[in-house]
Amino acid sequence: MPRESVKAKKARVAEIVRRLHEMYPDATCALHWKTPWELLAATILSAQCTDEKVNEVTASLFRKYRGPKAFAAANPAELEQDIRPTGFFRNKTRSLMGAAQAVVERFGGQVPRTMEEMLTLPGVQRKTANVVLGTAYGVASGITVDTHVSRNAVRMGLTPSQATKAVNTDKIEQDLMALVPQDEWIFFGHAMILHGRRVCTARKAMCEECRLLDVCPRIGVD
């Protein structure tokens, strides 16, 4: 694909966003939650795990541990077994309990509402913070960049970063934030995740079925 000017790329992204609204008008986080803390906990558990599996686990987990105080006071060995199906359960237990303790001790039991404060919580990086801030509070502090968004941002020519195991998600997020209007950041992340799961998948990009085909260079697909 010929080198695009910034103006041309922004115009292409505007069309991509418009079509994503048509394709996924109700795009939102697939995790089940009732409070910002539950969303934070579920997002921590979702690392290297499907949302479906996390939702199965949290259905009983959130009945057993009701809020950050309960997680902070949990027996670590017991909590490990409760979340074991999500994988990496020892690390996730440390992150959950650490985040819960921080929320209780430093934020009065309320999940903070700023990126700066969110990043002080154990186990929380920009991806997790963006999910919670955008979904629970409607705060557009950035764009959620998971494996689907990373892969599709490269394929759509929205970032020069390479889709490797060492992919720099912070760099990809900055590239996307420079192209996508801020009032679309929250929706864009959710919609790109859905698109990556349903159409532009890792195993097979179903380009001929994609409504973005004519505005996508399909980098690395063929």
Active-site residue, 222 included: no
Task: Give me 55's structure tokens.
Answer: 């939702």
Active-site residue, 26 included: no
Catalytic residue among 9, 53, 146, 171: 146
φ/ψ region of 18 (left if φ > 0, alpha if ψ in -120 to 50, else beta) reads alpha
State the Cα torsion 176-180-184-185 to the nearest 10°: 20
Q: Are 190 and 24 in contact (CB under 8 A)?
A: yes
Please work out, in degrees rounded to the nearest 5, the angle formed at the alpha carbon of residue 83 by the alpha carbons of 77 and 87.
105
> CB within 8 A of 80, min separation 6: which ones?
89, 90, 93
> CB within 8 A of 4, min separation 6: which ones?
12, 157
Catalytic residue among 82, 92, 127, 175: 127
Residues with a catalytic annotation lie at 127, 146
